[in-house]
Structure 1
Amino acid sequence: MRLLFEVSGVVRAPIEDVRERMFTGAGESGSHRLVDRERGVIAYWGDWWYRGEDSLQPHPEGALVVHRVYNIAPQGNWAPYLANKLFIGYRARLEAAMRERVRQLEAQS
């Protein structure tokens, strides 16, 4: 498993409130998803290369939400780069999505 991208954002709200909001509708663990409310982790993966992982950690200003993208391809781990056009613009999209997610989590307070 190789970390490709990591983005994070601080939600200015108590961590327990953010945890409740983050896990609303998360469902339960299954064949392609891990939901661990105690550790504050939601992970989801496909059949080929992708694993996305969201985690929640305490932060002096509230709660730190971290999103990581891993390459989990057991072989041909170079192929996701080609399939995703070398990930050009991918980080910018992840960062924009994180800003929106933080905004939404703060708006729910």
Structure 2
Amino acid sequence: MRLLFEVTGVVRRPLEVVRERMFADAGESGSHRLVDREQGVIAYWGDWWYHGEDSLHPHPDGALIRHRVYNIARQGNWAPYLANKLFIGYRARLEDTMRARVRDLEAQS
């Protein structure tokens, strides 16, 4: 597994409140998904190259959410770069998505 991207965000709410909200609609583990409420991890992957992982950690201001994207291709691990147009703009989209997630988690009552 090769880490390609990592973005984080701090939710200014108690860790247990964020955990409850984050896992409210996470579903259960399956063939392409791991849901570990105790460890605060939701991971999902495709059949070819993609592995995404969200993890929850304590933070002095509340809860830290970390999203990581890995390349898990066993062969042709260079191909995801071509298939995703060299990932141009990808990090910016991840950062925008993280900001929106933090806003949503903070806004829920």
Structure 2 equivalent of residue 82 of structure 1: 82
| Residues 42-62 of structure 1 deviation map (CA, whole Å, 9 limit, x = unaligned) | 000000000000000000000
Q: TM-score, normalised by structure 2?
A: 0.99
Name segments (4+ residues, structure 1) moved above 2 Å. Answer: none
Identity %: 84
Which residue is equivalent to 1:16? 16
- After the TM superposition, which residues 1-109 of structure 1 pair with which residues of structure 2 at under 5 Å, given as runs? 1-109=1-109
* Alpha-carbon distance, 1:22 to partner: 0.2
Give the counterpart letter for 1:11 in structure 2.
V
Distance 1:21 1:71 in 2: 28
Q: Can you list the C-alpha shifts for 1:19-58, whole angstroms capped at 9, x where unaligned?
A: 0000011011000000000000000000000000000000
CA displacement 1:44-82 (0-9 Å, x = unmatched): 000000000000000000000000000000110000000
Q: Which runs of 5+ in 1 are unaligned?
A: none
> Hey, what's the Cα distance between the residues in 2 that align with 1:90 and 1:43?
19
CA RMSD of aligned residues (A): 0.4
- C-alpha distance in structure 1 between counterparts of 2:16 and 2:56, whole Å: 10
Shift of 1:101: 0.2
The TM-score with structure 1 as length reference comes to 0.99
